[in-house]
Structure 1
Amino acid sequence: MREERRCGSGAGGNASARSTVIRNHLFARKSKIKGRYIALYSGIFVLSISLLLYGNYNGDTTAVVDKKTVASAETVSPAAEVATEAISVDKLAAASAVTNLAETTQLPSAGDLREATASLSIKKDLSQNDSEVITKPEIVKPETSAALGITSYVTKEGDTMDKIAARFKISAQTLRWANNTNSDAIEPNKTLVVPMTDGIVYTVKDGDTVQSLAEKYKTDAKRIVLYNDIEEGSSLTAGARIVLPGGELPENERPGYVAPRSVTRSYSYGYGSQSSVGSISRNTAAASVGNRYAAGNCTWYAYERRLALGRPIGSFWGNANTWDDSARAAGFIVNNVPAPGAIIQNDWGGGGYGHVGIVERVDGQNIYVSDMNFRGYNIISSRTISIAEAGRYKFIH
Structure 2
Amino acid sequence: MREERQLGRSISGNIDTRSTIIRNHFITLRGKKRKLQSFAVYGGIFLLTISFLVYGNSSNNAVAEKPKTLASAEVSNTSTSTASGVVKAKTVSVDKLAAASAVTNLAETAELPSAGDLRESETSLTIKKNLSQNDSEVITKPDIVKPDTSAARGISSYVTKEGDNIEKIAKKFKISPQTLRWANNTTSDAIEPNKTLIVPLIDGVVYTVKDGDTAQSLADKYKTSAERVVLYNDIDDGSKLTAGARIVIPGGELPEAERPGYVAPRGRLSHGNSRYGSYGHGSSSTTSASRSWLTASVGNRYAAGNCTWYAYERRLQLGRPIGSFWGNANTWHTSARAAGFLVNNTPVPGAIIQNTWGGYGYGHVGIVERVDGHNIYVSDMNYAGYNVISSRTIPLAEVGRYSFIH
Normalising by structure 1, report the TM-score: 0.68
Q: Give the superposition deviation at 1:141.
A: 0.9
CA pair 124-107 structure 1, distance change in 2 beyond 3 A: closer
Instruction: Give the secondary-structure state (helix, strand or coil) at the position aligned to 2:348.
Output: coil
Q: Name the structure where strand makes up a greater proportion of residues.
A: 2
* RMSD (Å), alpha carbons: 4.3
In the alignment, is residue 336 of structure 1 matched against residue 345 of structure 2?
yes
Give the counterpart of 2:399 among 378, 384, 390: 390
Deviation at 1:204, TM superposition (A): 1.8
In structure 1, the partner of 2:185 is 180
Q: Displacement, 1:176?
A: 1.6
Match of 1:120 in 2: 121
Identity of aligned residues (%): 63
CA distance in 1: counterparts of 2:270 and 2:140, whole angstroms: 55
Distance 2:193 2:384 in 1: 29
- Give 5+ residue unaligned stretches, structure 2: 54-90, 133-137, 277-296
Shift of 1:18: 3.5
Q: What's the CA shift string for 1:62-108, capped at 9, x where partnerless?
A: xxxxxxxxxxxxxxxxxxxxxxxxx98799666533333246xx545
> Displacement, 1:295?
3.9
The one-letter code sitting in structure 1 at the alignment partner of 2:195 is: K
Partner of 1:139: 141
Aligned match of 2:254 in 246, 249, 269? 249
Q: 1:181: Cα distance to partner?
A: 1.6
Q: Which amino acid aligns with 1:381?
A: S
The 1:120–1:187 alpha-carbon spacing in structure 2 relative to 1, beyond 3 Å, is same
Relative distance call for 1:127 and 1:40 in structure 2 (3 A) is closer
Q: Secondary structure at the match of 1:384?
A: strand
Question: What residue identity is the alignment partner of 2:401?
Answer: R
- Residue-by-residue CA offset, 1:186-237 (whole Å, 9 max, x unaligned): 3333332222221111122233222222222111111111111111222222
After superposition, the Cα gap between the structure-2 partners of 1:338 and 1:41, relative to the gap in structure 1 and judged at 3 Å, is closer
Contact 2:101 2:122 in 1 (8 A): no
Q: Distance in 1 between matches of 2:30 and 2:7?
A: 35
* Paired residues for 1:133-282 under 5 Å: 137=139, 139-143=141-145, 144-145=147-148, 146-261=151-266
Q: Distance in 1 between matches of 2:121 and 2:323?
A: 68
Residue 348 of structure 1, CA deviation? 3.8
Superposed displacement of residue 365, structure 1: 1.7
Alignment correspondent of 1:304: 313
Report SS of the residue matched to 1:140.
strand
> Which whole-Å CA distance do the structure 2 matches of 1:139 and 1:263 have between them?
44
2:26 match:
27
* Mean CA deviation greater in 257-266 or 361-370: 257-266
Deviation track 1:280-304 (CA, whole Å, cap 9, x = no partner) reads: xxxxxxxx98323334432222112
Unaligned runs of 5+ in 1: 54-86, 131-135, 268-287
Q: Does the CA contact (< 8 Å) of 2:162 and 2:192 recur in 1?
A: yes
Of residues 332, 336, 343, the one that matches 1:327 is 336
SS of match in other structure, 2:231: helix
Query: What is the one-letter code of the residue matched to 1:252?
Result: A
The answer to which structure, 1 or 2, has the higher relative contact order (CA under 8 A, 6+ apart) is 2
Query: How many residues are matched?
Result: 331
Residue matched to 2:370 = 361
8 Å contact from structure 2 (residues 333, 343) kept in 1: yes
Q: Which has the larger radius of gyration?
A: 1
**Paired position in structure 1 for 2:279:** none
By how many angstroms is 1:360 displaced?
A: 0.6
Contact 1:265–1:376, Cα closer than 8 Å, also in 2: no
The amino acid across from 2:121 in the alignment is L
Q: 1:95 to 1:395 in 2, by over 3 A?
A: closer
Q: CA deviation at 1:369?
A: 0.8
After superposition, the Cα gap between the structure-2 partners of 1:19 and 1:161, relative to the gap in structure 1 and judged at 3 Å, is same
Contact 2:42–2:106 (CA under 8 A) maintained in structure 1 = no
Secondary structure of 1:141's match? strand
Could you give the per-residue CA deviations for residues 12-71 of structure 1, whole angstroms, max 9, x where no partner exists? 55454343223223334545666788899999998xx99xx9xxxxxxxxxxxxxxxxxx
Which secondary structure state, in structure 2, belongs to the residue aligned with residue 97 of structure 1? Answer: helix
